[in-house]
Structure 1
Amino acid sequence: MRALLWIILVAAALWGGYWFAGAKATEQAVSGWFAEQDGRPVAAQHQGIAVRGFPNRFDLTITQPEIRDAETGTGWSAPFAQIFTMTWKPWHLIAALPQEQTLSLPGQDLTISSTVMQGSLVLVPGMDLTLDRLSTESDGITVRSSAGWAVSATSANLATRRAPDSAMGHQIWAELTTVTPDAAFRMALSPLSDLPEQIERLRLDGTVTLSAPVDRHLATTRPDLQALTVKEALLLWGDLTVSGKGDIVPTADGTAEGRIDIRIDNWRKLVPVLVAAGLVTPEVSETVTRAMELMAAQDGTPDVLDVPLVFASGRMSLGHVPLGPAPRLR
């Protein structure tokens, strides 16, 4: 019995020593990363780092983290960020974020509010800490822009996983449910359409190819988007359904180039949406409708339109209908 007691005491002491050593190493590694960013294009700061969770977890809390990229004008800040991991599998992280955080983009700041926002991140064991897979879940999310617009959703979910056939590829899946567009857009759409105020579902299933792995060196390697393959893009909005698949790549200046093959059920519902969004002027909406009628009639399905969304020479068009400048992918 005395021998067993000694074994238990020794094991407990070893485990306690492992935890305190691991907690110290975690705190030093995170503090070191923040310090390494000083003088780089990516600047990072915080107001405190603490590790708790003895004896079975490493619970990391970073107070007032702020990360900014001087070259792109992007940044992120929050009152705190928490990362939890079990002591026996430190490559599997669980993150919890506050109910309000700020994402800075060129020309505007986005305030992101939610009732719940949490994520799970799994790294490849090793010194580089390469991302293997990631999932996030958010409920009651609202995004408000300093430019004056706001959108909300009942839930927002995102998942990524390393592509099995590409060292730089990641499979991605994202879905928003019960999306409420900006009030100004809804006011512009209301007299033109009987679509409901809320979009039932937005979903994207695809693969992105990057220029470098997503790992602890990303502040230096700065992975860029090289290609986007859309397996399925879906919008469900009342009796309007839009789906698509195709491939897009960024040009040298970062604008999108490629083609997404679109299928639109009850396509006439889409024209007022394009007008309210400012992609089509009211003066040419009837011309656009007639052009879509001709395209739909060619397939013998007057309520279903199969048409390519084309990105070329810095512009985008839906079939023969011009929609304006192509979006920038990087």
Structure 2
Amino acid sequence: MPRIIWAGLVLALAWSGWWLWATAAAERAVERWFAERRAEGWQAEYARLDLAGYPLRFDAEVLLPALADPGTGVALTASHVGVSAPAWWPGDLTVRLPEDAITLASPEGRATLLMQAATADMELTPGNALELERLQFGAGPWSLGGPQGQVVLADDLRLAMVQDESTPQRYALSVGAAALQPGSVPRAALRVPDSWPVSFDSFALEMEVVFDRVWDRRAVEVARPQPQRIEIDLAEAVWGTLELRAAAELTVDAQGVPEGPLSLQARNWQEILGLAERSGALPAALVPQARSVLQALAAASGDPRAIDVTLTLRDGLVLLGFVPLGPAPRLVLR
């Protein structure tokens, strides 16, 4: 019996020593990371780092973090961010966001994000690169607002990003939000009638993306991986009588120009055109031309209120057959 007790004491002391060493190393790593960002010209500050969780977990809380990337002009400030992991493998991370305001700023303006029970679970490959294998993000009710009012809100938010085992640069992504609501700002800009439904009936995205490299710590420290191939299995938004669905198989060059087929379905396109016209997103001079094109697309689909076509993205343009409809968007992650 004494041998068992002594063995237990030795094991407890060894584990305690490991936990203390690992937490001290984590504290140094956080300090070094913020210092390296400042050396690169970032604003990278925090007020205090609290460590806890002994004996089975590493729990860290970063108080008053403030980050600003000079390359993109994007900045973030929050009251705190919590990070925890099991003591036997710190690569299985859980990140908890605060329920009070997170302030976001960019060259386009400032916004405030409020999220309840926002948690991200990440599985990282062992090693200094911290390669992302899996990300599961979930949140309860959330809202994004600006100086003029609410921009968007929803009852929840679900996001998943899973690495392909055979092709590490390939990730499956899915996004969903229940009761997604355009806020007062976009409703006013679109001049949405008061009788229009408050929230979307459906909002979902499922796709697979091949990037030029894997997602790892360089995505924050250096630059974001860029898409090379995009396969959209489902992109769906249903809002009242409006229904939009899309699927695509696109390749993307080094400049972010996509090429490939894009299948598009739109029901009650007249309402969509009306929203674009009332908001000013479509100049009045172009409305007759846009209506003629959409009527032709609907006629080709066999239903005057619906459009079901396959467009082609090529040479920087969106084409219907041989007819150019406009420039293709550039797909670049900043």
Per the TM alignment, residue 327 of structure 1 is displaced from its structure 2 partner at its CA by: 5.7
Q: Secondary structure at the match of 2:159?
A: strand
Note closer, same or farther for the CA distance 1:258–1:41 as it changes in structure 2 (3 Å cut).
farther
**Partner Cα distance (1:248, 1:209) in 2:** 10
**Partner Cα distance (1:9, 1:220) in 2:** 42
1:144 aligned partner, one-letter code: G
| Contact 1:279-1:323 at 8 Å conserved across structures | no
| Contact 2:156-2:178 at 8 Å conserved across structures | yes
> Which residue of 1 is the match for residue 296 of structure 2?
294
Matched, 1:326 2:329: yes
Note closer, same or farther for the CA distance 1:137–1:122 as it changes in structure 2 (3 Å cut).
same
Q: What are structure 1's unaligned runs of at least 5 residues?
A: none
Which deviates more from structure 2 when the two are superposed, residues 266-275 or residues 101-110?
Answer: 266-275
> Which residue of 1 is the match for residue 95 of structure 2?
95
**Partner Cα distance (2:7, 2:165) in 1:** 45
**Partner Cα distance (1:294, 1:230) in 2:** 26
Note closer, same or farther for the CA distance 1:241–1:219 as it changes in structure 2 (3 Å cut).
closer
| Contact 1:212-1:223 at 8 Å conserved across structures | no
Note closer, same or farther for the CA distance 1:322–1:109 as it changes in structure 2 (3 Å cut).
farther
TM, length-normalised to structure 2: 0.85
Matched, 1:63 2:63: yes
1:243 aligned partner, one-letter code: R
Q: Secondary structure at the match of 2:33?
A: helix
| Contact 1:158-1:174 at 8 Å conserved across structures | yes
> Which residue of 1 is the match for residue 143 of structure 2?
142
Q: Could you list the per-position Cα deviations for residues 76-122 of structure 1 after superposition, in whole angstroms to 9, with x for gaps in the alignment?
A: 22111100111122210111111221222223122111222111011
1:173 aligned partner, one-letter code: S
Q: Secondary structure at the match of 2:8?
A: helix
Q: Secondary structure at the match of 1:214?
A: coil
**Partner Cα distance (1:116, 1:317) in 2:** 44
**Partner Cα distance (2:256, 2:148) in 1:** 23
| Contact 2:60-2:82 at 8 Å conserved across structures | yes
Per the TM alignment, residue 192 of structure 1 is displaced from its structure 2 partner at its CA by: 6.0
> Which residue of 2 is the match for residue 115 of structure 1?
116
The residue correspondences of 1:70-219 to structure 2 (distance < 5 A) are 70-99=70-99, 100-146=101-147, 150-187=151-188, 189=190, 195-219=196-220
| Contact 2:227-2:331 at 8 Å conserved across structures | no
Q: What are structure 2's unaligned runs of at least 5 residues?
A: none
Q: Could you list the per-position Cα deviations for residues 147-203 of structure 1 after superposition, in whole angstroms to 9, with x for gaps in the alignment?
A: 766211111111101133433222211112212213243245556695413222221
> Which residue of 2 is the match for residue 307 of structure 1?
309
Matched, 1:34 2:34: yes
**Partner Cα distance (2:277, 2:193) in 1:** 9
Matched, 1:18 2:22: no
Per the TM alignment, residue 240 of structure 1 is displaced from its structure 2 partner at its CA by: 2.3
Which deviates more from structure 2 when the two are superposed, residues 16-25 or residues 303-312?
Answer: 303-312
Per the TM alignment, residue 138 of structure 1 is displaced from its structure 2 partner at its CA by: 1.6
Task: Give the share of equivalent positions with the same residue, in percent.
Answer: 24
TM, length-normalised to structure 1: 0.86
**Partner Cα distance (1:191, 1:219) in 2:** 38
Aligned residues: 330
Which deviates more from structure 2 when the two are superposed, residues 2-11 or residues 309-318?
Answer: 309-318
Q: 2:231 aligns with which of 223, 229, 232?
A: 229
RMSD in angstroms over aligned alpha carbons? 3.0
**Partner Cα distance (2:218, 2:327) in 1:** 37
Note closer, same or farther for the CA distance 1:69–1:225 as it changes in structure 2 (3 Å cut).
same
